[in-house]
Structure 1
Amino acid sequence: MAQQALPEVTVQEKRQPAHELQTSQPATSASHVNVPVLDLPASVSGVSSQQIEERADYSVSDAVTRTVGLSASGAPGNGGLSFSSRGFNGVNSIGVAEDGITLGVAAGTINYPGDSWGYERIEVLRGPASLMYGSGTMGATLNAIRKQPSRERSSEVLLGAGGNGKVYSGIGTTGALGETVSYRIDAYGERSDGERDLGKSSSGKLMSALRWTPRSDVTVDLSADISRQKPERYFGSPVVDGQIVKELRHKNYNVLDAIDEFKDQRFRAKAQWQASDALTLRNEIYHFKSDRHWRNIEGYDYNPSTAQVDRYDYLEISHDVQQTGNRMGLDLKAGAHQIAMGWDISNAKFSNMSNSPYTGESTVSAFQPQNGYWDSPDAFLPRMSSSIRQNALYLEDAWKINEQWLLMAGLRRDWYDFSRTDIQTGAGFDKPLNGTSWRLGLTHKFSALSSAYVQTSTGHDPVTSLLSIAQSQSGFSLSKGRQVEVGYKQQLADGRGEWTVAAYRIVKDDIITRDPERPSLSVQGGQQSSRGLELTGLVHASKALRFEGNLSYVDAQFDRLLEGSKGINRAGNRPSNVPRVTANLWGHYRTGPWQASLGVRYVGDRYADNANTTRLPSYVVTDAALSWDVNPRTTLRLVGRNLTNRIYATAAQSSTQWLLGRGRSVELSALMRF
């Protein structure tokens, strides 16, 4: 019997990457149209929930500062979400959004979202982001993207504990309710005794969402969230001659009944109708409310000769911020064009109470302080109320010229109508502010896995927080900036990794300076600029070994700036809290159910002031994690932070007082999925 020839069979290995490539993600935070990050003529990257879990970065600040070029300058007084990026620092240049919506910044404070639980990704769009988010986004904007309801039932539970009495827990669950409704609930809470005196902190939140899909082309989403944060009541440690006093690192000179508390409520309703394959209509209405209260002694000067600390700046302040808005959008596909247009409108109100002028002084022992209780000579009274009405129109187009070329253009116009009243005197003023921003970018795809781009964009920042403009600033307009950026993005074959590089230059005009002829007078006319290079990479060296890393260099300076009543020239100086170099590197090795991870973070030196007289030293922090998959549903994780117990400063409260980073700590957690 003759043998029958068998057909030829070709076997190919298809390697599944342990982590989805960032350049394959949709550019949700960087564009109104639907393009992947690989095609976008701009720099955007982030951290996924999976990366957050394996690094145990459950605070937003810890998570996002693993991304390229972003360093933290958060403090209790600014809400803890202040960052530096591309040569710009602070909440009036680095925006914070949740699902694309920002809360108006009042008195230099952003505090939400504080933790990363319940978010699928946290992304960072670098450079001017006014096209997407309006004013106050010159250096970057981070956007926390929520996990969405699913009809497939699933749950996850996180339990963790560590040194200094730290405990935390989280729960997330989703599933179907009937034939057309699905839900998602995420809750998280943590508390700690802290590593220094008066170090207790706590936080908790509840995020809830319902999704109704009455038809395949209609989706209605409702969400309601509440959050309460009580950060550590710590405003820094004494510094002598630019050196940290190590013996005082665990001391706290605040009062025993100090207050640092933030309460937030957020409600949203969003409807989307896909009228056809070419047309989608969206509308979203929301209401945010934030209540904040501080009561602290915030200034400390240490005298080594007497071993005493002089305390000053007795501050009690409260904020009531409310914002209601509506976002309407239309997405249209027309041949080779993807077009997005929309109208955003919001109304924000801010009221402030304080004990200004914040006098009061006391002296305590540096090594055995008798902290005492709050006692201020200044009355705590309503001081001001303000409101701002914003209208914004935007238009964006992605034109796919052919398989190799993509041209993207966007235009946005913002109108702000501001009003302020001094409650004690009844005096007030109104102020209109307008800003136009645009972005033009061109991407060339060399292949399905690589692309190069060039873009130019503009943006605008307020000279101070938009909800806190003072009478003395009523004559100022928005500061304007422009950026030129080029970059290259490439994915490695078989999903083995990716790398990106971006080079940029940003110039920001009309910053506040002094009149050269009358230095006592503040005017617009200053300028600052930055140029830099950012490099990111991910590589699966083998089935067991994976590396992730990034490196950023920025040369930032004031081109024109006079400061102080004498008009001292700061031209050539580096802006405060801006490091030249930052870097992150993670290595992960997996064998069977075990994974060992080692991470290193480097932040270069920074200046505490624009005069560049006080320098915060650079630092390296090493973290590690050991994970054991007990079974497919349960992972135990042992985490060590700051393994070398490095003493370092994250930000300067003043030239004699720095905020210190966390010391060495160990945590054990369990993550269960079912």
Structure 2
Amino acid sequence: MRNLTTCAALAITAAATPLHAQTTPNADSDADNILVVGERQQPSLTTPNTTGSRLGLTALETPATLSTIDGDLIRARGDMSVVEAASRAPGISNVGNLGNGGTALAARGFSGQGSVLQLIDGVRLFPVAGTITFPTDPWMVQRIDILSGPASVLYGQGALGGAVNVVMRKPNTDRTDIEGEIGYGSQNTVHLAAGIGGPLNDRLSYRVDGSYRRSDGFVDRGQSRSYALSGTLRWTPTDTLVLTARDDYGNQHPMRYFGTPLIDGHLDTAIRDRNYDTRDGHARYRDNRTSLQLDWTPSASLTFSNQAYRLTSKRYWLNLESYCWVAADGFCPNGLNENPATPGQIYRTGMTGIVHDQTQWGDQGSVTWRTSLADGIGNDLVVGFDANLIKMRYSHNFGADPQVAVVDPFDFDPGVIVDTQGIAPRYRTRTDEISIFAEDRLKLGDHVSIVGGVRHERDRIKRWGIAPSGAESFALDKTLTNTTWRVGGVYQPVKTVSLYAQYATGVDPLGTLTTYSTGQVQFSNATGDQVEIGAKAVFLGGRGTATIAAYRIVKKGLLAQRTPTSPVEQIGQRSAKGIEAAVSLDLPHGFGIDANGSILDARFDDFISGGADFAGNTPPDAPERMANLWLRWDATHQLQARAGLRYVGRQFSDNANHFRLPGYATIDATLSYAVTRNVAVDVHVYNLFDKDYATNAYGDQQWVLGRPRSVDVSLRAGF
């Protein structure tokens, strides 16, 4: 399938690019289509969505916070990655770095792949050591759905903070679309993309996409490149049966950058573009997913669905990862070096080579039954299963040393890798997951509905150690079982307004299932629950939407150690409470506003580690103030301007709250001009005021910086 996808993508690379983005109606004529942005989409609050509920409820009908970001909107804003696009949703922040595949997110006070679940087309992805590297490119994205708060009832363990579902592009069954893009910008950034899809006949349709990106990066030796391919074939042999076969492939060589060390506790702009990795540092990710989806609707009240899939991931790192500034006493402020070094220099350590070799097989099936119980009373029920087998082989060379350990902060030879051990297999694991789930909605007339769900999951992890000779030794066999549930009510005084309340439970692993260690065998998963209330509304004839939610989440079962000599116990607790709100308005004369914000209070309630009491502290990677604002102006039928503000408040990188990342605000802007009905030019300006800021930390004294001011220009065409 991958070869077929590649050939089809190459065949269309000469095709040009679409202008099907959104049209915003104005007071004079809501029928006008502005070519630069395309056709206006139905308000997301009234669109059926399977991410927040397997029953396909709309956001207005779902007693939870569900945000949707349309793929055309992602591309119009110029977002260059899935994580960048997702972090524009209410209460979501980017905590990605090279170590976790650049995809980790934080939501409602909880962060990382073990608390914010990643999905593709509704299928849960299993991380290795907190790392996920798929999907690859936003060009392939139809939309991103974000369910905030516990999602374990729907998707299993690892979703206490939320779940992010990337829905990939599907074939258009009505007409053939050809689209493409070619762009160039700052840091010698290049983007080429093309796609084609449509009906082959009354029963068969297809879509093929390809995307290539490269850049020199904003630090020394910061080159990156990637390409992604996808192909879909949709067959409807009867009016009630749909079969969809799909293959997606991604190959990434990300920027080899683990962050910039602080000097005397501060960011020194003189080393803003320095890269302290070695000259020959390396990183590469290859992911390939193949899936077959069956949807059968024998009657209006009965639906069967099944999706079988296979995902392979091969990831490789060999880099010098940790750096710090040496203080006057000869030691790093964070204690990185055991022996004294030259003050005023940068001490480098952490020469690490890692290989993940992972394969995930799975099958997910469900049956949905919709019935009327009495006059005005209806019931929708879905029952299903989810089964996965994940095989993973983990290789590393922990303990290797760099060629040059201490360098001048400003002028140095980066050196090369000195691998004293060699990257070799160290252990392998097998993870078997099986779940059964059910969800039900009881509709009591036109105004009230009750939604509930339950899921029982069983995870069994086996681990074998691998000796240098290649001999294997059995290390552990651990079984984890969890039952999670949720119940909520929705009251709709009118069809366009919802008031709701929900109670939900969730489960997070202590680490990562696929890399479960012998030290975790005696413990179970951490558990949590959430209470949420909120309101949603569509107004101004669909030209405005608004949501607001208040919540409190409590997570129990953290590993704690009362004194340095006492045993580790599973007794810790943390919590988060907050408010999230969003509003979207299409105003007269072509103006539009999209805004959201969140206020969070996250803290450790009871957490002692190594005798240090962290109660009352803010957990790492939990910004407590966030906001996004986008302004849009459709000046004419040919010209559109956008400006976006992203604000992320301060956050900490350690449990003791000794190391703080300052808050930041950046502004992006886009100008789009339609040269003809089929060709447009876009100018994207990122970080307009050239703000120096850190998105997160890699270690306490090492900040992962955001992209400086950059300008990208692209030519799009579509037919």
- Asked whether 1:212 is paired with 2:258, we answer no
Equivalent pair of 2:401/2:418 in contact (CA under 8 Å):
no
Match of 1:263 in 2: 286
Cα distance in 2, alignment partners of residues 338 and 629 from structure 1: 46
2:136–2:250 Cα contact (<8 Å) kept? no
The match for 2:572 is 526
Offset of residue 389 of structure 1: 0.4
Deviations 1:2-47 (A, max 9, x none): xxxxxxxxxx998469453221222321110021111111100021
Cα distance in 2 between the residues matched to 1:19 and 1:325: 33
Q: What's the secondary structure of 2:150's corresponding residue?
A: coil
Residue in 1 aligned with 2:387? 345
Alignment of 1:20-419 (within 5 A): 20-151=42-173, 152-303=175-326, 307-335=344-372, 336-360=378-402, 362-419=405-462
> Shift in Å at residue 304 of structure 1?
7.1
- Separation in 2, partners of 1:575, 1:418: 28
The within-5 A match list for 1:428-439 is 428-439=475-486
Q: Deviations for 1:276-334, whole angstroms, at most 9, x for unmatched residues?
A: 11111112111000000000000111247755321100000000111101111101111
Matched-pair contact (CA < 8 Å) for 1:242–1:655: no
Correspondence 1:571 to 2:618: no
**Aligned partner of residue 651 in structure 1, secondary structure:** strand
Q: Is the CA contact (8 Å cut-off) linking 1:124 and 1:140 kept in structure 2?
A: yes
Paired AA for residue 535 in structure 1:
A
Structure 1 residue 428, shift from structure 2 partner: 0.9
Q: Distance in 2 between matches of 1:605 and 1:518?
A: 30
Q: Cα distance, 1:375 vs. partner? A: 0.4
Instruction: Tell me how far apart the structure 2 counterparts of residues 415 and 672 of structure 1 sit (CA, whole Å).
Output: 49
Give, in whole Å, the separation in 2 of the partners of 1:370 and 1:99.
46
Name the amino acid aligned to 2:383: M
Residue 519 of structure 1: how far off its partner (Å):
4.2
How far did residue 517 of structure 1 move? 5.8
Describe the SS at the equivalent of 2:418. Answer: coil
Residue 588 of structure 2 aligns to a residue whose secondary structure is: coil
Instruction: Report the equivalent of 1:614.
Output: 659
SS at match of 1:223: strand
- Which of residues 691, 714, 717 is equivalent to 1:646? 691
- Residue 625 (1) aligns with residue 667 (2): no
- Work out the CA distance in 1 between the residues paired with 2:137 and 2:710: 19
Aligned: 1:494 with 2:536: no
The amino acid that maps onto 2:353 is E
SS in 2 for 1:262: strand
Contact 1:263–1:291 under 8 Å retained in 2: yes
Give deviations 1:220-255, integer Å, cap 9, x for gaps: 111112110111000110113431111111000111
- Partner residue of 1:478? 525
Deviation of 1:671 (Å): 2.0
Distance 1:264 1:628 in 2: 36
Per the TM alignment, residue 416 of structure 1 is displaced from its structure 2 partner at its CA by: 0.4
CA distance in 1, matches of 2:226, 2:484: 37
AA aligned to 2:569 is: V
Checking the alignment, whether the CA contact within 8 Å between 2:152 and 2:506 is kept in structure 1 is yes
* Distance (Å, rounded) in 1 between the aligned partners of 2:464 and 2:59: 45
Distance 1:441 1:27 in 2: 17
What's the CA shift for 1:267? 0.6
Mean Cα deviation higher: 475-484 or 232-241: 232-241
2:487 aligned with 1:440: yes
Helix, strand or coil: the match of 1:243? coil
CA change 1:391–1:595 in 2 (3 A) is same
- Residue 66 of structure 1 aligns with an amino acid whose one-letter code is R
Quick one: which amino acid aligns to residue 88 of structure 1? F
CA distance in 2, matches of 1:607, 1:57: 26
In the other structure, the counterpart of 1:5 is none
Q: Structure 1 length as normaliser, TM-score?
A: 0.96
**Cα displacement (A) at 1:53:** 2.2
User: How far apart, in 1, do the equivalents of 2:28 and 2:493 lie?
Assistant: 25
Distance in 1 (CA, whole Å) between partners of 2:539 and 2:290 is: 42
> 1:467 Cα shift?
0.5
Map of 1:634 onto structure 2 = 679
- More displaced, 57-66 or 526-535? 57-66
The letter of the residue matching 1:291 is K
Specify the alignment match of 1:601 in structure 2: 646
1:113, CA displacement in angstroms?
Answer: 1.4
Q: TM-score, normalised by structure 2?
A: 0.90
AA at the equivalent of 1:575: P
Structure 2 Cα separation of the partners of residues 558 and 256 of structure 1? 41
Mapping 1:506-521, distance limit 5 Å:
506-514=553-561, 516=562, 519-521=565-567
CA contact (8 A) 1:242 1:616 kept: no
User: Offset of 1:359 from its aligned partner?
Assistant: 4.6
Number of corresponding residues = 660
Once the two structures are overlaid, the 10-residue window that deviates more, 354-363 or 292-301, is 354-363
Q: Which residue of 2 aligns with 1:586?
A: 630
Q: Distance in 2 between matches of 1:448 and 1:175?
A: 35
- Summarize the Cα distance change of 1:162–1:13 in structure 2 as closer, same or farther, 3 Å threshold: closer
Alpha-carbon distance change, 363 to 32 in structure 1, aligned in 2, over 3 angstroms = same
Contact conserved, 1:79 with 1:110, CA < 8 A, in 2? Answer: yes
Taking the aligned partners of 1:550 and 1:211, their CA distance within structure 2 comes to 37
Partners of 1:646 and 1:607 in 2: CA distance: 20
Contact persistence 1:15–1:495 (CA under 8 A) = no
Q: Which moved more, 1:134-143 or 1:147-156?
A: 147-156
Per-residue deviation, residues 341-380 of structure 1 (Å, max 9, x unmatched): 1011110011101012355561222212211211033332
Whether the 8 Å CA contact 2:681–2:714 is kept in 1: the answer is yes
The residue number in structure 1 matching 2:515 is 468
Q: Which whole-Å CA distance do the structure 2 matches of 1:623 and 1:597 have between them?
A: 8
Cα pair 1:160 1:669 within 8 Å, conserved = yes
Deviates more, 1:574-583 or 1:632-641: 632-641
Tell me, what secondary structure is at the counterpart of 2:123?
coil
Secondary structure at 2:88's aligned position in 1? coil
Structure 1 residue 594 displacement after superposition? 0.9
Q: CA RMSD in A?
A: 1.6
Q: Distance in 2 between matches of 1:622 and 1:110?
A: 28
SS of residue in 2 equivalent to 1:482: strand
Deviation at 1:518, TM superposition (A): 6.2
- Distance change (3 Å), C-alpha of 1:86 and 1:349: same
Residues 222, 270 of structure 1: 8 Å contact kept: yes
Q: Secondary structure at the match of 1:117?
A: helix
Pick which of 275-284 and 552-561 moved more: 275-284
CA shift for structure 1 position 179: 3.9
Unaligned runs of 5+ in 1: 1-11
- In 2, the alpha carbon distance for the partners of 1:579 and 1:451 equals 29
